[in-house]
Structure formats: C-alpha cells, structure tokens
Structure 1
Amino acid sequence: MNRLNHIRSEEKKYHDYCYDNYKLFEQGSWLYKPVQTVMDLLHMVEKDHPLILDLGCGVGRNSIPLAQAVKPHNGKVICVDLLDSAIVKLNQYRKEFDVEEEIELHQADIGQYQISTEQYDLIVAVSALEHTASEREFEEVLKRMADGTKPCGINCLIVNSEMKETDLFTGEELDALMEVNLSTAVMMNNLERAFTGWEVLRELVKPLVYEIVRGERKVLLETNAITYVVRKS
C-alpha cells in the first residue's frame, strides 16, 4: 500500500469510529458544535437564494446549521465528502434536523471536485484541504474555490499546518498521517497567493493539541491551525 492510500485508510478508520460512536451535536467529541468562525458568517449569507459549498462536510457539523440559516431564504448547501460513512450519516441528520431539501449530497474527493465559476456566496473548508492528494492538488483546489465564488462572496478556510504525531505511551515521534503537511509559513503563502486582491476578514494561527487513536495507539496530535476568511472584491 502506498503512503497516500495508507493515510486515507487510517483516516477512514478514525472518522468511521467517531461517526459510529459520537452523535452530532452531543458532547464528547469535536462533533459537539459547529465552528464558531463559520457561524459568525451566517448573517452575511442570509439573503435570497444563497448558495453555499461545504468541502469536506463530514456528517454536517457546519452544514446542518448553515442549512438551517438559509432555509428561510430559499438557500441550499452543497455538501462534498470522500467518505461514504459521512454521506450516509449526513443523509440521516438532514432528515432529523428538517433540512433535507436544503442539503445536496455529493460523495467525491474534494481534490477532484469541479466547482462552477462564480456560483457560490460562501465556500467553507474546515480541516479538509490538507486531505488533498498533493501540494499541487491543494493549490488547484484553492484556485477552483476562488474562481467559484461570486463577487463579494466569502471563503472560510481552516487548514492545519506543521502537524506532529507522538505516541503518548513511548514518546516516539510518528509519521504524521496527513496528505499535505506544510510549514505554517508555506501554507500561509499559498493561501495569500490564491486569494490575492481579496479582502481579509480574519486571519489567525492557533496551536492546537488533540489526543487521538491510531489503531491501538493513543497519539498526541499537534498542529498550527490556520483560520483564513476572505471576501472577493
């Protein structure tokens, strides 16, 4: 198995476990609540027929609240995720939260997903773009996101950088299982280049530490999480 397939296999195991064992919006995991940065943008898309794209949507942590917000305005949220387990769960949740008509599901690799030109009022990618297959593919997705945004539309990105994984029991530093793992400086440079001329609404780098499980191992995951919110001029 090559490295990319190995990473994706391990990520699938981790996410499948979370989706099976933790319910959306219940305490106990990162599924407990939507990302506040995304929620802070809701007032900007509450207008007639807003169209939102959620890349790497998972089971709907952000897309369910987004769909609830745009429902009174006849809006729609297009949800894209590689994992079949995410799409199956989100299909259940969109019915449970009465936003079935507002959420459109696509099981696809976000690195290959085609985005129509100037189509979206808001594009969201939370902890998703680092899962593209290569740095080149990552840059291509950024270009498609920029091209796919309407004038005055917004892109909200949260991207991990400088990720480290350490075995909690032995202290051994492990291979960080992330497809694109760039330095914070290089990642920021890519973002700034992709959105040259856009208005920066929020830019933040925050060190984060998580405990996760890789197979039988308890692992400490460290990352510099970049929040980058920009508006097309």
Structure 2
Amino acid sequence: MTRIEFIRNEEKKYHDYCYDNYKLFEEGSWLYKPVKTVTDLLHLFDDKENVKVLDLGCGVGRNSIPIAEAIKSKNGKVVCVDLLDSALLKLIQYSKEYKVEEVILTEKADLGNYEIKTNEYDLIVAISSLEHVESEVALNKIIQQMADGTQNNGVNCIIVNSEVTEIDEETNEKLDALMEVNLSTEDMIKKISSFYTGWELFKSEVKTLEYSIIRNGKPVLLKTNAITYVVRKNNEKYFN
C-alpha cells in the first residue's frame, strides 16, 4: 500500500465514522452548520436565474444543502463531487429530507482527476478538500480548472489546510500528519493566489485551529493553519 493509499484509507474510516455517528445540522460535530463564508456569498446571486454551483469535496451536504435551498426557486443546480460512496449516499438522502433533490446532482470522482467545464459555474467551493489531491501537480491542475470553469462575475471560495500536525492525545507523541498535500501556509497562499491574477479579492485570512479527531479508536489532536481565500472573476479588468 502506498502512502497516498494509506492516507485515503484512514480518511475514509474517519469520515465514514462521522457520517454514521453524527447527523447533518445537529450539534456534536463539524457537520453542525454550513461554513459562514460560503453562505455569506449567496446574496451575490439573488438577482440571477439558473445559478450553477460546483461543490468540490461536498461530503454529505454541509454546504451543498443550504446552497441548494437558496437557489432552488431560481432554477439553480449544485453539482456535488466526492470520492466517498458513503458521503454521496448520505447526501442523496439529506437532499430528499430537505426537499432539494431536484437541485442536487452528485458525481463520484477523485478531485485530482476531475474535469471542470470551461466557463460553466457561477460559484465553485472547495472546503477542506484540495489538500486531499494526490500531489502538488494535481493541486495546480484543479485550481487552474476552477479558475477556468468560472463565469464572469463568478466566485471561487477555497478553504484549505496548511502546516497540519497530528499529536496522539494519550502519549503526546507527534504523528505523521495524514494529509496528501501538506504545504507551509506561505507556500499554499502563494500557490493559490498565483492562479487568480486580476480577480477581485473578497477575503484572504488564516486561522490557527486545533480539534480532536478519532483515528482507529484513539483520540488525536489535529492542528492546522486554515486558509480562507475568496475571489470574484471580472474579465473587464483584463482589458482596462
């Protein structure tokens, strides 16, 4: 088993455990509520019909469901991409529960191999997912596709982890961080911003976070610098 295969197997176990033991929008886990940065962007599309959204690494719908609810009345669609069958199956169930099944379109794919159509989306979100592609080459590819796949005046919203460390809470031993791409915060920001020259910057911030997770039945403290980067495409700027 390669290191990437091992990491993905461990991540699958962790996420399957969360999806089986915690319900969407109920207190007790990070599934409790959507990301505020994402929901705060939805007003930008209040006057637009046929809004099309891409959620990369959608999980069970923490962000996809609220987005779908917001654009349902305007013939909107949310394309939801994830690698885990467990996530997509739960998402389909939740989409029915929240009466947005006609808005949600699911696709199973590894983000590193996913193809985004050019000039297709009004909003593309990638929340804690880009760091799970298999290499920096794959990371570069998907960010470039996100930029190319966005319509004029469309928005890209990225939240990505950097400088991730994991510590065994029982022994205080530093563990191998199970993250496919684990760059320094400075390098990750520099990389992301390089793909959005000329875009309007809405938000760029770094938050140092730490929280307990369960790996193979043991408590592990995960520390990360979480980068939030939100930009809007404005082609007119390229010609001024």
TM-score tier (shorter): over 0.9
Please state how far the C-alpha of 1:216 moved relative to its aligned partner: 2.7
Residue 32 (structure 1) aligned with residue 32 (structure 2): yes
* In 2: Cα distance, 1:171 partner to 1:10 partner: 20
Contact between 1:10 and 1:214, CA under 8 Å: does it hold in 2? Answer: yes
Aligned AA for 1:44?
L
2:20 is aligned to 20
* In 1: Cα distance, 2:31 partner to 2:217 partner: 22
1:84 is aligned to 85
**Residues 123-181 of structure 1, C-alpha deviation per residue, up to 9 Å, x if partnerless?**
00000000001011001100000000001100000000000000111111000000000
* In 1: Cα distance, 2:42 partner to 2:135 partner: 31
* In 2: Cα distance, 1:223 partner to 1:135 partner: 18
Percent identity of paired positions between Structure 1 and Structure 2: 62
Q: CA RMSD in A?
A: 0.6
Q: What is the TM-score with the length of structure 1 in the denominator?
A: 0.99
Please state how far the C-alpha of 1:110 moved relative to its aligned partner: 1.1
Any residues of structure 2 matched to 1:202-213 within 5 Å, and which? 202-213=203-214
1:43 is aligned to 43
Unmatched 5+ stretches in structure 1: none
Any residues of structure 2 matched to 1:119-134 within 5 Å, and which? 119-134=120-135
1:108 is aligned to 109
Any residues of structure 2 matched to 1:45-60 within 5 Å, and which? 45-46=45-46, 47-60=48-61
Please state how far the C-alpha of 1:217 moved relative to its aligned partner: 2.0
After the TM superposition, which segments of 4 or more aligned residues of structure 1 sit over 6 Å from their partners?
none
Please state how far the C-alpha of 1:45 moved relative to its aligned partner: 2.1
**Residues 7-55 of structure 1, C-alpha deviation per residue, up to 9 Å, x if partnerless?**
0000000000000000000000000000000000010123110000000
1:187 is aligned to 188
User: How many residues are paired up?
Assistant: 233
Unmatched 5+ stretches in structure 2: 235-240
* In 2: Cα distance, 1:113 partner to 1:229 partner: 21
Q: What is the TM-score with the length of structure 2 in the denominator?
A: 0.96
Please state how far the C-alpha of 1:214 moved relative to its aligned partner: 1.1
